[in-house]
Amino acid sequence: MAVVAEEARVTPAEALPVADPAPLGLAAFALTTFILSGHNATFIPDLIWVGLALFYGGLVQLLAGMWEFRNRNVFGATAFSTYGGFWLALGVFVTFATLSKTFGTAITTNKADLPNALAWFLLAFAIFNFYMLLWSTRVNVAVFGVFLTLQITEVLLAIGFFMEAHGHANNGWIHAGGWAGIVTAAVAWYTSAAGVVNGMAPRAVLPVGRPIWGELPLAARPEAPLPRRVEG
């Protein structure tokens, strides 16, 4: 009696649907930005943001970026991975400056070095953020709003730290950057919330808008905060 074995069909791993990591990445970015910005705006104590920078804004956002690679979303992967690295780098820098006498002495021997270093750090990320701001116009209005408010925040803070490095402490620019950062956090939280609730509903509940410039080939759910390309 012949036995015919049926060939099992195995679905490739890359074809399996995965949860959208963008709402998580945006939430991690928003909360960490809010706490640090609250300090810059002078109503939240300092250093409480460091743990968040290392684990939530840093590690969790980096993981979201890695999952965006899996989703074939080059914009989301680049944005989340970069700002995950941003928070990790800033958190480690402040940890070393606070806990290591050698590191702290090296960065504070010249009084201007610390604010100058922070200014260049923020300016470098503002350059990255600028071209991501331009390309966010091809995603949707909500994501564009996140990068626009973040661009303003980074520029204000960079100016403030440069002025502090040149002897103009309490110049008001950092305080203004703190309030701009709170607006940034609010916009990012909204975009994250839209991604969560829209992913749970048959149609969009919170609007995120259409692309401002051009049309991106979208997945089946264009209301997602960072829709990925679909393969033709």
Domain count of the fold of the chain: 1
**Does residue 14 lie in a domain region?**
no
**Does residue 2 lie in a domain region?**
no
Domain extent, residue 138, equals: 19-198
**Does residue 10 lie in a domain region?**
no
**Does residue 86 lie in a domain region?**
yes
Say how far apart CA 66 and CA 62 lie, in whole Å: 6
**Does residue 216 lie in a domain region?**
no
CA-wise closest residue to 72 among 227, 215, 232, 192:
227
**Does residue 208 lie in a domain region?**
no
**Does residue 209 lie in a domain region?**
no
**Does residue 5 lie in a domain region?**
no
pLDDT for residue 214: 80
Say how far apart CA 125 and CA 134 lie, in whole Å: 14
List the chain pLDDT tens, one digit each, 232 residues: 344 444 445 455 555 668 899 999 999 999 999 999 999 999 999 999 999 999 999 999 999 999 999 999 999 999 999 999 999 999 999 999 999 999 989 998 898 999 999 999 999 999 999 999 999 999 999 999 999 999 999 999 999 999 999 999 888 999 999 999 999 999 999 999 999 999 998 888 999 999 998 875 544 345 566 655 544 4
CB 107 within 8 A of CB 157: no
pTM higher than 0.85 for the full model? yes
pLDDT digits 0-9 by tens, 92-145 = 999 999 999 999 899 988 989 999 999 999 999 999 999 999 999 999 999 999
